Amino acid sequence: MRLPAIESRLAELLADRALLGLNEPESAELRDLLRDEPGVDEWALERAATALFVGMAGLALEAPPASVRVRLETAGDHFAASRRPTTVADQTPTVVSRVGRASPAFAWLAAAACLALAAVAWWPARPGAPIPADPIALVDASADALSIAWAPGPDETGKAAQGRVVWSDASQAGYMEFRGLPSLDPARWQYQLWIVDPARDQRPVDGGVFDVPASGEALVRVPIDAKLRVDRPVAFVVTVEQPGGVVVSSQERVALIAARSD
């Protein structure tokens, strides 16, 4: 797996997703770009941010030297200025495309990455405190991590599928594992996760849409993207929906169900 080119539209969308989230057209564009570049690690930014956060949690910060801090701040200002679009006189476009310019999130992410790396150099290490490599490791390390096996739903897509869902209430994070869940045509269908938490609301919480690559029997892991806080989930449901997902599912195509027994 590799990172996208820093000047690319793909890098911009991945940065926006990590920091701000994407709307439906942007999500569709990101899926198209990822299909064109199958070797790109699309979760690299999320893993880096999580590892940095966990590694620094609870530690006292030792400030870097003032001269280094000034150089980093100046470099960040120059980077943002170099990415600022120029104004063309007497030109009034009716539609502004985000292609070819850096979003505020992308410029912020690039500058913040430089500052974060510099901070780590002066951050005192905590002996014996392992840093999880990614969000999946963070969830697995949570004391309250809940693991539930998938059971097939009435839709044929889940008949041969196996795996589990892992969720931590404390971390408000989780992931899904699948083996044997068929790949769908993303132009027609996508999988969508729903998290059932009756104590919060009778309507399930959207856990994000996702695609499954055509990888045969290979194990597939998908991070959960819960749109709202979940306090005590009693079930997780995977449905087949239109591209981009839906706000409220008709539950006509239920592929998999994972229900807790306690």
Q: Does residue 64 sit in the same domain as residue 15? A: yes
Between CA 51 and CA 185 the distance in angstroms is 33
Question: Does residue 94 lie within any of the structural domains?
Answer: no
pTM value? 0.52
Q: What is the pLDDT along the chain (262 residues), one digit of tens a residue?
A: 577 776 688 888 887 777 667 788 888 898 888 888 877 777 776 665 555 544 444 444 455 556 555 655 665 565 455 545 544 444 433 333 334 444 444 444 554 554 444 444 444 444 454 444 466 777 888 889 999 999 999 999 999 999 999 999 988 999 999 999 999 998 999 999 999 999 888 899 999 999 998 876 689 999 999 999 998 999 999 999 999 999 999 999 999 999 998 7
Phi-psi region of 58 (alpha: psi -120 to 50; beta: other; left: phi over 0): left
Residue type, 20: L
Domain limits for position 22: 9-87+100-122
Between CA 132 and CA 135 the distance in angstroms is 7
Question: Does residue 95 lie within any of the structural domains?
Answer: no
Encoded tokens for 87: 């104004």
Between CA 154 and CA 141 the distance in angstroms is 33
Q: CB of 236 within 8 A of CB of 165?
A: yes
How many domains would you assign to the chain? 2
